[in-house]
Structures are given as C-alpha cells and as structure tokens.
Amino acid sequence: MAEQNLEELFERILAAMRELSTQVDVGSYRNLTSSMMTDVVPLALRLRCDPARRLDPQTKRFLDESSQMITQLIGHIKYYITLVEDWFYGEWTHEEWVTACRDRSAIAFLFELYQHTDLQIFFPDLKDRTEIIDQLLRQKVDQGVNTPYHKIPAGTPNSHWWWWYPQDAPPHGKPCE
C-alpha cells in the first residue's frame, strides 16, 4: 500500500463526512461513502504502525471533529455494509478478494477508531451485519479464493483474520514496514 499523507487522509475523510452528513439519500452517495471508508484503512494502519501519532494535535483534532459527525452517518455506514455484503453473491477473482478484505478491514477499523464515541451505541447492530459478511468471507475461501501474503497491507492486525483465512493469522498480524 502506497504511503499516504495523514493530513490528506484527515481532510478527505472530513470532507466526505461533511457532505454525507447533509444527505439523507444514502444510495446517491454510494461512491462518496465507499471512498470515505476506503480512506479509513490507510489512516488506521498508519496510526497502528506509529501509535505516537494518536497523540499528535492534528490527529486528536481529526478524531474529535469526525467523532462529532460519525453518528449522523449511521445510515451511510449501514448502506456501505449492505453493499459489501451484496457483492459476495457473484463470481470472484483474487483481486475482488483483496477488495473484500480491505472493505471488511475498513469496517473493523471504523469500530476501532470510534470505539469511545457515540457511535458505539450502534455497534451491536453493525456487528450483527458484519457477522454476515464474515460468514460470506468464509464461504468464498471454501470456494478457493484467498489473499496472497504480499497483498496484505503492512500493519494489519491479527484480529483481521479474513486476510489470512483459512490459515490462522500470525500472532502479531503483518508487521509494519
């Protein structure tokens, strides 16, 4: 995964959140929601690989500002999860598997980033929805689709088991570079 500037990620995510928070029609904003969720992955990986960045004033400001908007986006987040679930029902290649793993990681990282915010009241419902995705991931692997190790992003935690399945994830995930 190419190195991405944290400040650019902060700004893109916040811009998407601002626009999405004014929109009721979740379907019309599918691409914007997907882009926002896709940006969550490199952001979370960077913060995992450099934990001191969480203490940085820019990171704190981003988390504070985005935390204030995140609950307004619950409809968009649910819609995103539904979209991820829906495309499991077609034929896949290995590239689609990598995308599915990235999308599932985006959801998991969203939970991680906002675990101590008002979004946590929605976690039980969102986690029920992700359990369906987890079942679908296991079924796809049983059909012979999985991720080559070199496609797993550096810093991916072992709790993101879907990147390694059907093998067990290494005890500490994939090391940061």
pLDDT digit of tens for each residue in the chain (177 aa)? 445 699 999 999 999 999 999 887 777 788 899 999 999 999 999 999 999 999 999 999 999 999 999 999 999 999 999 999 988 887 776 678 889 999 999 999 999 999 989 888 999 989 898 999 999 988 887 776 678 889 999 999 999 999 998 888 999 999 998
pLDDT for res 167: 87
Q: Assess contact for 156 and 45: CB atoms under 8 A.
A: yes
Contact partners, residue 158, CB within 8 Å, separation at least 6? 164, 169, 170, 171, 172, 173
Q: Return the closest-CA partner of residue 81 out of 25, 133, 134.
A: 133
Q: Return the closest-CA partner of residue 71 out of 117, 119, 110, 114.
A: 119
In eight-state DSSP terms, residue 154 is T
The C-alpha atoms of residue 130 and residue 107 are separated, in whole angstroms, by 8
Question: Dihedral sign, CA of 167, 168, 171, 175?
Answer: positive
- Tokens for 146, please give them: 């999985």
pTM: 0.91
pLDDT for res 95: 75
pLDDT for res 50: 94
The C-alpha atoms of residue 109 and residue 112 are separated, in whole angstroms, by 5
The C-alpha atoms of residue 8 and residue 43 are separated, in whole angstroms, by 10
Q: Return the closest-CA partner of residue 94 out of 149, 173, 157, 136.
A: 149
